[in-house]
Every structure is written in structure tokens, then in C-alpha cells.
Structure 1
């Protein structure tokens, strides 16, 4: 397991946060630091046709070691980390033989990772955990997935007795800002289907995700001296507040679960003269998703009637539910399920309350379910990953490759 730990730490200590305000690809130049390292590492472990394009998309091949033609499968992860919390100077901490009690992440700041709040920790008593030091995120999303793919390919290369067909791997930038698949060359990748290693808890196997859109509301007000403002002032901040108040109060992330959709207000910037409100729209059901967008249009129309067309609304779709594209080839989910069972893992098949590169890739012609990478509490200081979960993910990748060869030969 030390080999896994060392590889993972070498990745997470490189800052690769993406930036949604940038129009470049990758959105931050520092993502190149890990991208270039991965290219060299893939070559070192023995992968062939290792390429990186001008946008930092990495692809590599493990050639088939059987004579019969079988489907080419792929494994994909992203190497950027979320801009939601700092990833500068990540200092991973290793907790061996976890005892089920509170973990002191940072004594100076009094930051504790506690099973009394994060009860999933109790699933991993006796295991080795990698945590943050309480001041940064960890980056298991999705450097755990990158670690697992590289290590699985290395294992297959070192164990030629395990038969497999042609395997393609791909690593992408900017997934955390919704652009990970935007410039992914599906034709060049050349796989019949793929799996993203980007889930959370051990056992997760997902082929449903949210339909997703982002909305930007811009409100123009009029600033007048408050002592003489009657009938003249238009306070853009208060109109933004009114817009939020017209959203359904129960349909927010903290009050929904499963396949329940939501509106999520995540940014507001403003003054009396001008205020911008940003939110995201999520729903697994396509009809409900479209209705949510219509509901926002209706709120905008209502406020424009009340306040003389002071408001503009821009809605952009981000990705769609991959279920529509995966269900016709459901055998690829069954293959992953069989692989998990073969290595002693109970599959947890459930909808993703989010999105992955796989959701977009599925609509680009590459069906792409999502498999666990093992981490928990992504995008914040309480993030952690059990090393044993990463080990099991590696075993699942290897077994999928093996089953694909034996079942189709």
C-alpha cells in the first residue's frame, strides 16, 4: 500500500485548482505541472502512445495481450481540483489503523474530523486514512482516481499473465468547473466505452446524474440619496433578495436527497445600482429540469413587470443525465458490477447528485458510467480517503479489464 500512498501524495501536493473565471484551457497554468508529470509517469510504467495536446488532455494505451479482438475500454479521471477551497500547500496526514475516534487535523486551529458528524468514518476503523491538515482540501477528487488508473495499468504491465484487450486511459483538466470533457477527442480516444474513476465511497457505481444548468441574473437599480429616495430609488440588492424569496424554500441542496432536484444560490455580488445573482439548477428528471428553467423565467418576468424591466436572466445548460445514453448499453454497468463482486465489494448503485466528465462524454458518443475513487467530504478541509478503498478501486479496474477479455473472447 505504501506505493499507492506515495503516488497519491506526489499528486495532491501539486496545486491544480481550476478557475471558472478563466477562458483558457486548462483554466490555470499550474495544472500543467501535474499534467507533464503524468505524461512522464505513464511512459515510465510502460504505457504506449502517451500523448498530451495543447489543452493538457492526456491519453495513453495499454495494448492488448490476447489475439482475439475484444472491445476497447477506457478509464478516465481529472487532475484539476475544486476552486471551492484552497489547494495551496496541501500537507497530507496519514492516520494508520484508524481507531474510530476524533482525528485532530490541526491543533493550532482546533480543527477536528469527527465521526460524530462524519459518521462514514466508522466504516474505516482499522484502516489507513489520508486526511488534510485542516487548512486545505486534499484533492482526492480526483487525484485518487488518477492514482488508481496509473497504478492499475502498472500492475497489468507487470503481470502479463492477466489477459486483457486494448485499454485506453485519459486524464482531463477543468472537470471541477464543468469543462473537463469540452475538448476531449472521443474519436482519438477510440474506446467502445469507458469508466470515470470519480465517485466517492467504496462500492459506488453510478450511471445516472443530474441534468444541470447555470443561471445568471443581472439587476440594474437606481441609486438616490436615501433621504430623498421615495418613488425614485430602485435597490438592486433588494430585488435580488426578492428573486431568491420567490424560489421554493424546500428545494435547496441542504433539504433534498436522492433524485430530488434543487435551486442553489451560490454567488451574489452587488450594490444598489447593480447586483448579480448566480445559481445552479439541478434535476434528474428532464421534464422537471425544463420546468425549473421555466420557473426562473417566470420569476424574472414577474419582477420585470414590477420594476420596469430592470432584470436580465441568462440560463446555460451544462450537462445532461447520462442514464439516457447508458441504458441502451447496460452491459457495461453489469461488467463493472461483476468486477466489484469478484473482488469482494458490494456495489452501491445510485444516482449521482452531481456530474462527472462521464455525463458529457456519454452524450459525445462515449458511454461512461462512474466508479468509486474512495474519497469523502470533497472540496473542503474535512476531505479524506482510505488507502484500502484506493486499493480496491485498483483491483476493480484490473478485474474489469480481465473480464472484458474473458467474457468477449
Structure 2
């Protein structure tokens, strides 16, 4: 399509085989560019996808995901720009960023050098319903706890052991999990430990997360989860042995808010009205590349690309939504180029 294309070396730090892709389309209208972003990676099982077109949608054969998260965003961006260029329409410069490793921690966005971006705002195509704009998303902490107990024979000498699984179970029973309030959620997602039924387990690794739109609540719930484990382990002492907990707390991503008078919000409303798609602004519950970009000072709203039942083998996208997603991107470019 004639774009200036570059790849960075982010993959060298993530273990991938390609870096973030940046593309620049020069325009014939003298103003700053506008940015469109989507991510190139998918969740598993994502190899050997066999897409099938039914009467009104694209699905898989049921053995893999479709990968509409986020291939649909990529397709709609390319489709829209291609039609703008082929029609020789006047347009402002356009920037495109296709990131890597979004699904495993927004790593591509975290590693991308935003100093190369000339746009002042833009859109991440990485949500569901066409026309919807995600105007905010929570911050998240990801926690890993290693509980150290004492191993012994479960049948011959259970009194000589301290069960790390028992410590974990007791601590979890004291936690408030699920939806804490309208701004905050908490989950214990995985527990791994033990080697055999006849051995008192000496170690358990527990992974959890907290998400909140409020920084104080994020810290409070994270501290409460940690305290439940540490305080429970402190109760388990056997002779010279003291059970303990190692904590690793990682700030996964920061929160963001798009205000009603921000440029991405106002432009999206105009584009929706122009093409007859209802506009809806909503607060999201998950993280995306937009969390990272907004934290770095680049205004990026998340918008729908039509993907449904993502992260499952039932994933699909309706053909009309794929088309309307491209129409929406094209209208954003047209409307932005007017101003």
C-alpha cells in the first residue's frame, strides 16, 4: 500500500520472532497523523486455524480459536486504508502500529518507543461491538506467592510435616474474591503444589490478580491478599521450622480514562453518526495496549472490531461487523482529515 514500514526489536526481549510493526502513510493534508493500533498475537490454541465462512459469519472448525482477537482489528485497519488510497481520497497522514505479545502482558506496547509516534491520539481496535468505545479500563496487579511448608511422610509421620496446601486453603478461605465493588475485582487463578498423596506437600505456588479503577483500592486488596497468606503461614510452626511465604507483586498495567471532551471521544461520536451506527461509551474490565499508551501520555481509546466469544474455540465474527469495522475506520480517517 506504499507505507513506510519498520519493525522494532521488542521480540528480542519477549522471546518472539518479530517485533512491533510501525507503518506511516503520508497524506496530502497538512496536519498531524492519526494512529490506529491492533495486536498481532493470539491466545492458544491458535495454530492451524481453519476458518470457515457460513451464511453470516466466520467461524473455525471447533479445534482452535479463530483469532479475530485481534486479527479483525488488523484486517479492518488495512481494509479501510486500502480503500481510501485506491479512491485517491484526500487524507491526513496515518500511522499504524501492530503490536506483539499483547495477550501475555501487553509486552509489545510496553517495549515500543513512543517517541517515533507523531499522532496526538488514536484508536486501539480490540473490543467487541462495532461503534462502542471503551472510555476507561482498570489497573491490575499480578501476584505470585510461594508458600513454604515442611515435607514428611503422610502416612508414617504426618505430625512431622507442615502442609503448604493446608496453609494456602486456610488463607484463601479468609479472602474476599470475585467482584469486590463496582470498581474492583480479585481472583486467585492458579494453585500448583504437591508431588504425591503420601507426601505432606512442602511447597505451593499460588497466582492471583487484582483489578481496580481506583489506585487506593488496588493497593488495599492486594495488601489484604498478601496479609492473608503471610499471617496464616505465621501460625504454622513446628520445632525450629517456621512456614513462610515469598511474594512477588507485579504492576501489570495502569488504569486510564477517556473524558467526554477528549478528541478520540468527540471524533468517534461524529464518525458513528455519519455512518448510522449507534454510539455507546463504556468502562472496560480488562487491560489492553491502550492502558500502556495512555499511561505514556498518548491518548488512545479502545473501540470494537466485532470479535465475539474470544479466547474460546467458539470464537466468531459476523461478516457485517467486519465490513462495518472497516467502514468505521474509514469514516474516522475522513472526518479527522476535514478538521
**Offset, 1:63:** 1.1
8 A contact 2:178–2:186 mirrored in 1:
no
* Distance of 1:213 and 1:328 partners within structure 2: 27
User: Which among 324, 330, 333 is matched to residue 392 of structure 1?
Assistant: 324
How much does 1:245 deviate? 1.7
Residue number in structure 1 paired with 2:138: 210
Give the conservation status (yes or no) of the 8 Å contact 1:343–1:392: no
Match of 2:37 in 1: 76
Aligned partner of 2:213 in structure 1 is 284
- Match for 1:314 among 225, 248, 265? 248
Is there any run of 5+ residues in structure 1 with no aligned partner, and where?
1-44, 97-127
The CA deviation at 1:227 is 3.3
Look up the match of 1:235: 163
**Correspondence for 2:20:** 57
Greater helix share, 1 or 2? 1
- Asked if 1:167 corresponds to 2:94, the answer is yes
The match for 1:94 is: 53
Q: Deviations over 1:348-389 (max 9, x none)?
A: 211111011011011112111001010111111111101211
Total equivalences in the alignment: 319
1:30-179 maps to which residues of 2 (within 5 A)? 45-47=1-3, 49-55=4-10, 56-66=19-29, 69-82=30-43, 85-96=44-55, 128-161=56-89, 163-178=90-105, 179=107
- What is the TM-score normalised by the length of structure 2? 0.89
Q: Deviations over 1:317-376 (max 9, x none)?
A: 1111111xx339612211112111211111221111101101101111211100101011
Matches within 5 A, 1:236-255: 236-251=164-179
For normalisation by structure 1, the TM-score amounts to: 0.74
Q: Deviations over 1:117-155 (max 9, x none)?
A: xxxxxxxxxxx2111211111100000000011111111
Corresponding residue number in structure 1 for 2:225: 296
Partner of 1:177: helix, strand, or coil? coil
Counterpart selection for 1:372 from 299, 304, 307: 304
Greater share of residues in strand:
2
CA RMSD of aligned residues (A): 1.8
Moved over 6 A (4+): none
In the alignment, the residues of structure 2 paired with residue 279 and residue 402 of structure 1 have an alpha-carbon distance, to the nearest angstrom, of 44
C-alpha contact 2:23 2:95 (8 A) present in aligned 1 = yes
- Structure 2: state its 5+ residue gaps: 11-18, 195-200, 237-241
Distance 2:91 2:264 in 1: 16
Show the counterpart of 1:362.
294
CA distance in 1, matches of 2:255, 2:334: 29
Give the 3-state SS of the residue equivalent to 1:219 in structure 2: strand
